[in-house]
Amino acid sequence: MTIDLTETSTGAIHDALQQARRRLGGPASGMVLTLIIVTDESAQYDAVRAANEAGREHPCRVLVVITRRPDSSSRLDAEIRVGETSPGETLLLRMYGPLGQHADSVVAPLLMPDTPVVTWWPGDPPGVPSADPLGVLAQRRITDAAAASAPRQCLAALAAGYRPGDTDLSWTRATPWRSLLAATLDQPHGTIHSGTVSAEQGNPSAELMAAWLTSRLHIPVASQTSAGPGVTDVSFTTSDGEITLTRHDGRVAHLRRPGQPERRVALHRRETPELLTEELRRLDPDEVYAESLTQFEPA
């Protein structure tokens, strides 16, 4: 069911939601959180699709904040979707004029009561997510440095403004790599002297992986540029020889260790819905991410 409201108010949106629930046969139930998406008109389709796919595992109310024509008069248009592509509810809130500068005043009355709030910026993130008006409403704040024009500078800004509850999808993209590397280094190996992470130019996941390895292993880990896609190689120089993990096709990795046969391991590149689903599984602070970010802070 889709309901379109033009020049509306939060009260009218709330009434329309209740009406939609009655038509579908019952009240809203089983929704576990509110997901606020801060995006623009060109990116909202992909963001909503990712949220709807994640909503199959985490039923939620999705509030999509789209700011349009800041030089026009204040106006709020809403598009309400209930019972369509996910178990939850999706509200597209298009804010015109000065109203867009006060989006939190529109969003706050529409939050699900007594449930956690997550704010996600699919595009260029704010420098300090926890200080953003829509970030203040959330217990968990998701950014994506890969969407920034200068990813490394973005990571440095996120490090400077980090607060518990912040995370970044560039970190989430590295989860399979980190799991495989942790399992590899849990096995007996020689003394590790240095490491290298190779990826396509400007890849923030590689920067975060190098920072994570540096903080955990207390060795220098350099970032190098490769042809991609994404992260392609991680290697360690040890007293027994070189340990390498390579993935040049975006699907299968090859693990080589001194004195052992080569292993092939599934390591596919994941799409945004998978990444968002993973992040919505945990709402507690990610201390390992926070520790890795400290590598980007000025000395």
C-alpha angle 132-4-69 in degrees, rounded to nearest 5: 45
pLDDT for residue 94: 97
* pLDDT for residue 264: 96
Look at residue 29 in the predicted model and tell me its pLDDT. Answer: 57
pLDDT of 298 reads 65
Burial class of residue 171 in the structure, from the number of CB atoms within 10 Å of its CB (0-12 exposed, 13-18 middle, 19+ buried): buried
Residue among 237, 234, 235, 238 at smallest CA distance from 191? 238
pLDDT score for 162: 96
pLDDT of residue 72: 84
Cα separation, 168 vs 70, whole angstroms: 28
Q: Dump pLDDT digits (tens) for 211-241.
A: 999 999 999 999 999 999 999 999 999 999 9
pLDDT tens figures, 10-61: 999 999 988 887 787 655 557 889 999 999 999 999 999 999 999 889 889 9
pLDDT of residue 84: 64
pLDDT of residue 26: 56
Q: Can you give the pLDDT at residue 15?
A: 92
pLDDT tens for the chain, residues 1 to 299:
889 999 999 999 999 988 887 787 655 557 889 999 999 999 999 999 999 999 889 889 999 999 988 888 999 999 999 876 667 899 999 999 999 999 999 999 999 989 999 999 999 999 899 999 999 999 999 999 999 989 999 999 999 999 999 999 999 999 999 999 999 999 999 999 999 999 999 999 999 999 999 999 999 999 999 999 999 999 999 999 999 999 999 999 999 999 999 999 999 999 999 999 999 998 999 999 999 999 987 64
- The pLDDT value given to residue 127: 86
| 3-state helix, strand and coil shares in percent for the chain, rounded to the nearest 5 | 35, 30, 35
Q: What angle do CA 167, 168, 170 make, to 5 degrees?
A: 145
Question: What angle do helix axes 204-217 and 175-185 make, rounded to 10 degrees?
Answer: 30
